[in-house]
Amino acid sequence: MARDGAGSMRAVVVWSALWCPVVVVALFGGGLARLLGVVDPGAPIGAPFTSDGLLGTDYLGRSVAAQLLVGGRSLVLAPLAAAVVAEAVALIVSSTMIWSHRWRTAVTTVMDVLLIIPPMLLILVVVTGTGFAAWTLVLLVAAVTVPFASRYLTAAGTEIAASGYVETALAVGDSRALVAVRDVAPNLVRPALTDLGVRFCGAVHLVAAVVFLGGATGDSTGSWATMIQRNLEGVMLNPWSVCAPALAIVGLTVPLTMIADRWTQRR
Q: In the chain, what percentage of residues exceed pLDDT 70?
A: 91
pLDDT(103) > 90 = no
pLDDT tens track for 127-147? 777 776 778 889 999 999 999
pLDDT(68) > 60 = yes
Query: pLDDT value at position 236?
Result: 92
Which DSSP symbol is given to 57? B
For the chain, list the domains and their CATH numbers. Answer: 1-71+224-267 (no CATH), 73-222 (1.10.3720.10)
Query: Which residue has better confidence, 219 or 116?
Result: 116
Where residue 40 falls (left for φ over 0; alpha for ψ -120 to 50; beta otherwise) is: beta
Torsion of CA 24, 191, 115, 216, to 10 degrees: -10
- Average pLDDT of span 213-241: 79
Burial 33-69 (b: 16+ CB within 10 A, else e): beeeebeebeeebeebbbebbebbbbbebbbbbbbbb
pLDDT tens track for 46-64? 899 998 888 899 998 999 9
Helix (H, G, I), strand (E, B) or coil at 44: strand
Do 96 and 158 contact (CB within 8 A), yes or no?
A: no
Do 216 and 175 contact (CB within 8 A), yes or no?
A: no
> Across all residues in the chain, what is the average pLDDT?
84
Rounded CA separation 96/84 (Å): 19
Please give the backbone phi and psi of residue 39, each rounded to the nearest 5 degrees, phi first: -55, 150
pLDDT(82) > 90 = yes
Confidence class for position 211, pLDDT limits 50, 70, 90: confident
pLDDT tens track for 7-43? 677 888 888 999 999 999 999 988 887 787 776 777 8
Please give the backbone phi and psi of residue 44, each rounded to the nearest 5 degrees, phi first: -65, 140
pTM (predicted TM-score): 0.84
